[in-house]
Amino acid sequence: MIEAAVHLAAQPRLDTLVTELHTESLRLRTDYAGTAWLGDRPAPDSGLTGPDYTRRTVDAQLFLPDTHWYDVDALDDVEFQVSAGLLQVAATARQSQGLVGALAEPTVDFFEHPQGDPGVGICLHLRGEIWSNLGVSYRVTVLCRREALLRVGPGADDDGAVDDGDEAA
C-alpha cells in the first residue's frame, strides 16, 4: 500500500562473473541501481518536486524494472546487499524545507512474475511514513550461481527508460 505515486528510474544494470574466494567457483553478480521517486517526479529544469506537503504511508514492494528472472530452485545460496539513500526533500508551499518523516531499512526479496511467466524477479520493499515528495536512490546487489538465471531482464538506457531484454543463452 502506498498513498503516493512511485516512479522507478533504473540506471544501467551491471552483470559480472566473479570468483568466490573460498571455493573459487564462478558466480553471477548483478548490480541494480536507480531512483524511486515517491510523490511527484522532479521538474527537468530545476530538479525539484512540487510542494505537496502531506503525510503519506509507504508500504510498497516494487518490482525492479530491469530485474533478471531467476529459477527459484537454484537460489538456495543467493546473497543480497541493499542500500538506499535520500536524494531530495521538497520545499513546502511556503518555500521552506518540509519534514521528511521516516523510511525503514529497505529490503529485497524474490516474487513471481506478475503475468505468470516462469521465474522470480527482484522486488524492493520500502516502508515508513513521509511528509513530502522525495527521491530515494537504491542499489541492490545479487550474488548467485550462474544457472539460477532463467532470462535476462530488460536494460535501462541513460534516461532510466527500460528496453526489452534478451533471452539468456
Query: Are 72 and 65 spatial neighbours (Cβ–Cβ below 8 Å)?
Result: no
Whether 73 is in a domain gets the answer yes
Question: From CA 47, how far away is CA 160, in angstroms rounded?
Answer: 15
Question: From CA 159, how far away is CA 26, in angstroms rounded?
Answer: 32
Total number of domains constituting the chain:
1
Question: From CA 10, how far away is CA 117, in angstroms rounded?
Answer: 22
Enclosing domain of residue 110: 6-151
Whether 50 is in a domain gets the answer yes
Whether 96 is in a domain gets the answer yes
pLDDT tens for each residue of 106-140:
899 999 988 888 999 999 998 888 777 778 889 99
What letter does residue 169 receive in the DSSP assignment? -
Contacts by 14-23, CB closer than 8 A, 24 or more apart:
15/68, 15/152, 17/146, 18/143
Whether 165 is in a domain gets the answer no
What letter does residue 2 receive in the DSSP assignment? B
- pTM for the predicted model, two decimal places: 0.81
Whether 70 is in a domain gets the answer yes
The residue count of the chain comes to 169
Whether 119 is in a domain gets the answer yes
pLDDT tens for each residue of 2-47:
566 778 889 999 999 999 988 899 999 999 999 988 777 777 776 6
